[in-house]
Amino acid sequence: MNPRGLEISSAQRIAENGFISAIGNTPLIRLKKLSEETGCEILGKAEFQNPGGSVKDRAAYYVVKDAEERGLLKPGGTVVEGTAGNTGIGLAHVCRSKGYKLVIFMPNTQSQGKIDLLRLLGAEVYPVPAVAYDNPENYNHQATRYAEERENCVWTNQFDNVANRQAHIETTGPEIWAQTQGKVDAFTCASGTAGTIAGVTRYLKEISGGRVKCYVADPPGSVIYGYVSSHGKELGSRQGSSITEGIGQGRITSNLAPDVDLLDGALQISDAKSIEMVYRCLDEEGLYLGASSCLNVAAARDLALKLGPGNTVVTILCDGAYRYADRLFSKKWLHEKGLWEHVPERLRGYAVLD
């Protein structure tokens, strides 16, 4: 066996508690081309290597663990969440591995593919009318009521359950610090529930004595950029939309609130930058990443340019492009979204879908 293979093998461990033991300890991948361009070390934490395929495996495990520890969830119980994305997938895996039933409420605007995948993973799925959060029939409120009306049933409340944030204080942040041997200079990623950006920021600020710079990345249509840039003076309202999924927000969640003042700033990343990076990461790095991951990469590049050469900048590669390929690599969809012209001409051959 070659020396590199032995090194990797010795670094791994047996996941003795099954699925949940395999969550985390993902590698940092040096993004070679962007590092060369900026004169910085740009590193992406490969969260797509979690067993459920995304960074949300961490939060899913921690919100379930928290419910168990507080006596809210007992053997044979039911977990309920309102989600249309990776949190639901992570919860489905965690619940199956621990013997819990999972019930998911989601807007009925979501693709049949997402519904089918969650059902395939053992979840009971209720697609409900897509209405605003202040409407009592919003999917999150329906999830809450479902849990309240049943015994041994818990709503995990991913946006405002700070066990989500704790997952990243206890795991993601320490991993980044250890992997860089404390030489990380800056961290950036987007905010959806805000568990990742808040938890990692809290840990890195504390362990470094405030030295590490932390910036939240934000897509169009979200209020976080304006709020952070105005130092909390201007929340505003959501205007516009983005092709990215699971990130951007119209309010300050309970996960973000304790740590928002620790942020050094915010970076607004357009869909044009995100889609360009989808194709660049595939071509230049061999990384097949979703749009949210590539928004993070674009933010890391912008932050590296802002800070100047010689800095080490870390971001989160949330998940792969496998669930988004029918859009991200479709010429028709890219034209409809006005994004075709932002795909570098030399890379348009990757858009193989009509």
Question: Catalytic residue numbers?
Answer: 56
According to DSSP, residue 262 is labeled G
Task: List all residues 6 or more positions away from 216 whose beta carbon is below 8 Å from its beta carbon.
Answer: 188, 189, 190, 191, 197, 224, 225, 228, 263, 265, 266, 267
**3-state SS class at 142:** helix
b/e sequence 98-126, b meaning 16+ C-beta within 10 Å: bebbbbbbbeeebeeebbebbeebebebb
The answer to whether residues 241 and 220 touch, using CB atoms and an 8 Å cutoff, is yes
Short-list 245, 222, 226, 248, CA closest to 235? 226
Beta-strand runs (E) in 156-261: 186-190, 213-218
Rg (CA), the chain: 20
